Structure 1
């Protein structure tokens, strides 16, 4: 995620909320890419989680992301097994996978995440049932890595940052807040 991408997403989301005549509160983690100067939105109020609390307060970190990864990697493993059963090597399996294929795998994995899982994770993060209003959910390269069980496979990317690195000035600014 980058600041410019975040701005674009927020402007589109704000426009959509305006078309629906809705005002919404969006609670986001305090990643630097989310703190964009001059972001002018009328229908979306953005509130940041306190620093160093994302893993405790963000509903997606309470199990939704983990559940999605389990389903995604399950899809990948099943496809790999099918490829091997058809006599393909891992490289032959991976090579023809397009971005569209990957997006379809992502879509399928997300559809497997149950609305109960999402509801439970929001409750675990401190949201009360009456506060939650959402519709139910509807429907690799050949690199050696040491993974000894499926849980390790699911969590193999848990330490990878998913947003840009803070500059020294941004770190100082965050500490002064």
Structure 2
């Protein structure tokens, strides 16, 4: 993520919220790219989480990311097993996955995350949650190389910083 990319995303999001006649509060972490001088948005108020509190206050870190990764990696393992059953080697399987395949796996994994999971994670992070839709979060993840068990596979990139975009689902 860069400051210029963040600015572009925020301007597009602001325009979309304006078209829908909505005013929104966007709570983001303190990543340097989010602190853009001169970002002029009318329909989006941006509030920053306090420094060094992301793991405690960000709903995604309360279980949403983990849940998404479990589904994503289950999909990958199932596809891998199917490929092996069809006579492909692991290397052949990995090289057969296109960017479109990966995006479809990500989309499917995201749709498997239940609204209740998202709602519970927001509550755990201290948000007052009523009848709000939380169908707007997408994460981009890396696939590990050396894994010894499924739990390790799910958590393999837990130390990495995830790029998180709040996007409107259609």
Q: Which TM-score bucket, shorter chain as reference?
A: 0.7 to 0.9
Compared with structure 1, are the counterparts of its residues 156 and 12 closer, same or farther at alpha carbon in structure 2 (3 Å cutoff)? same
Query: Cα deviations across residues 120-151 of structure 1 (Å, max 9, x unaligned)?
Result: 00000001233845469999999995432211
Which structure ranks higher in relative contact order (CA pairs < 8 Å, sequence separation ≥ 6)? 1
**TM-score normalized by the length of structure 2:** 0.84
Hey, what's the Cα distance between the residues in 2 that align with 1:8 and 1:175? 15
Residues 115 and 136 in structure 1, CA contact (< 8 A), matched pair in contact too: no
**TM-score normalized by the length of structure 1:** 0.81
Residues 27 and 49 in structure 2, CA contact (< 8 A), matched pair in contact too: yes
Residues 57 and 125 in structure 1, CA contact (< 8 A), matched pair in contact too: yes
Q: How large is the RMSD of aligned CA atoms in angstroms?
A: 7.0
Residues 27 and 46 in structure 1, CA contact (< 8 A), matched pair in contact too: yes
Could you say which structure has the larger radius of gyration? 1
1:123 maps to 123
Structure 2: unaligned runs, 5 residues or longer: 159-163
Deviation at 1:96, TM superposition (A): 2.2
Hey, what's the Cα distance between the residues in 2 that align with 1:138 and 1:113? 11
Higher share of residues assigned strand: 2
Deviation at 1:68, TM superposition (A): 0.2
Query: Cα deviations across residues 80-119 of structure 1 (Å, max 9, x unaligned)?
Result: 0000111101111111211111110000000000000000
1:176 maps to 169
Structure 1: unaligned runs, 5 residues or longer: 159-170
Residues 108 and 139 in structure 1, CA contact (< 8 A), matched pair in contact too: no
Residues 7 and 39 in structure 2, CA contact (< 8 A), matched pair in contact too: yes
Q: Following superposition of structure 1 onto structure 2, how do residues 56-71 of structure 1 map, counting pairs within 5 Å?
A: 56-71=56-71
